[in-house]
């Protein structure tokens, strides 16, 4: 199925649980879209961004997603920053990606603004509100999809008792007992690639795995090609030697946070990942591959 602007896949160890698993995944993704989409005028996040400077009513899911995003910013020293929303919009990522391809790309004249104001975002669970400062727009793309994968996998495992794998555009979460030998996960530059295009394969038994890259979500502008992973320090697309960074971690959120940070960090990524003991595969723009933190060879457990 397609959801959140990407492909959504669920796999279970019990075939009898598949129908229920698909239903639960679809429900979770609809809920996330209504809460966290930057592109739906009727989403809770859109309401928060429209009323920047004011505390805006927000449901528990959006509040959780914002807290998770702020936690990612804290853990990465601001390299993964949810306050890049305005920067993304000014750079031309101002609508769902499929709609960008339909736009007259010659008319896109990007502008760039630094982010970095994530410490000024407040979440008040007692009052049920989220507030962003004036001039700030949130984008939860770096963590919300991964959070949806984590939550959906856990929900399906709890409801069915089966082992579960959920993949949302390359963000993979597993829950419950994995099948014998683990879940095989293909690694490549494009999450929709066929089996013939997979560059490596690992097996996952617990936690999450995420890949972030610069080759797929790209668009043309008057200043050249842009991609969706911004360096919050400049507001511009990250200039990285890595085409794709794949990371395994305790949760999909942790994996996605690290893979996004790796793209932004560039040449400093191997040391940063290694110091955190995060298994990672960094595929360079020139075709080379760097393995970090015990990233497994093909078919070995992650």
CATH code of residue 47: 3.10.520.10
Residue 203 included in any domain: yes
Q: Which domain holds residue 145?
A: 2-292
Q: Give the per-residue pLDDT at 208.
A: 98
Phi-psi region of 212 (alpha: psi -120 to 50; beta: other; left: phi over 0): beta
Q: Give the per-residue pLDDT at 298.
A: 46
E strand intervals along the chain: 2-3, 6-12, 55-57, 122-124, 129-131, 164-168, 171-175, 183-187, 200-204, 208-213, 218-219, 226-227, 230-231, 236-237, 242-249, 280-284, 289-292
Residue 300 included in any domain: no
Residue 175 included in any domain: yes
CB 247 within 8 Å of CB 259: yes
Residue 131 included in any domain: yes
Residue 20 included in any domain: yes
CB 110 within 8 Å of CB 226: yes
Which residue ranges in the chain fall short of pLDDT 70?
A: 1-6, 96-107, 189-197, 297-302
Place of tokens 């683990």: 182
Q: Give the per-residue pLDDT at 192.
A: 53
The DSSP line for 227-281 is ES-EETTTTEEP--SEEEEEEEESSHHHHHHHHHHHHHHGGGHHHHHHHTT--EE
Q: Give the per-residue pLDDT at 189.
A: 55
- In eight-state DSSP terms, residue 94 is -
Q: Give the per-residue pLDDT at 238.
A: 94
Q: Give dist(CA 65, CA 150) in Å, integer.
A: 12
Residue 170 included in any domain: yes
Residue 301 included in any domain: no
Q: Give the per-residue pLDDT at 180.
A: 95
The tokens describing 125, both together, are 């669970």
CB 184 within 8 Å of CB 203: yes
The tokens describing 267, both together, are 């040449």
The tokens describing 281, both together, are 């595969």
Residue 299 included in any domain: no
Q: Give the per-residue pLDDT at 300.
A: 43
CB 69 within 8 Å of CB 140: yes
Counting DSSP H helices and E strands in the chain, the numbers are 8, 17
Q: Give dist(CA 4, CA 28) in Å, integer.
A: 11
Domain count, the chain: 1
Could you count the other beta carbons within 10 Å of the beta carbon of residue 20?
15
């Amino acid at each position: 199925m397609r959801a959140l602007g990407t492909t959504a896949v669920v796999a279970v160890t019990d075939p009898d649980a598949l129908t229920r698993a698909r239903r639960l995944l679809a429900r979770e993704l609809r809920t996330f879209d209504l809460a966290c989409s930057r592109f739906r005028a009727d989403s809770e996040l859109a309401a928060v961004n429209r009323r920047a400077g004011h505390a805006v009513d927000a449901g528990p899911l959006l509040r959780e997603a914002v807290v998770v995003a702020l936690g990612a910013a804290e853990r990465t020293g601001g390299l993964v920053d949810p306050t890049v929303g305005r920067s993304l919009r000014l750079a031309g990522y101002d609508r769902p990606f499929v709609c960008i391809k339909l736009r007259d790309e010659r008319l896109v004249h990007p502008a760039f603004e630094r982010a970095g104001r994530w410490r000024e975002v407040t979440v008040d669970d007692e009052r049920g509100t989220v507030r962003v400062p004036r001039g700030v727009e949130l984008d939860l793309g770096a963590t919300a999809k991964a959070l949806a994968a984590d939550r959906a996998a856990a929900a399906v495992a709890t409801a069915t008792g089966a082992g579960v794998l959920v993949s949302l555009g390359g963000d993979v979460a597993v829950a419950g007992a994995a099948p014998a030998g683990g879940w095989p996960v293909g690694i490549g530059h494009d999450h929709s690639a066929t089996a013939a295009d997979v560059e490596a394969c690992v097996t996952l038994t617990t936690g999450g795995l995420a890949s972030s890259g610069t080759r797929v979500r790209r668009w043309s502008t008057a200043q050249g090609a842009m991609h969706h992973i911004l360096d919050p320090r400049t507001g511009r697309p990250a200039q990285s030697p890595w085409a794709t960074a794949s990371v395994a971690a305790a949760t999909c959120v942790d994996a996605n946070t690290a893979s996004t940070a790796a793209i932004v960090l560039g040449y400093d990524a191997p040391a940063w990942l290694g110091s955190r003991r995060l298994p990672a595969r960094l595929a360079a723009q020139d075709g080379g591959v760097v393995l970090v933190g015990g990233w497994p060879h093909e078919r070995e457990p992650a």
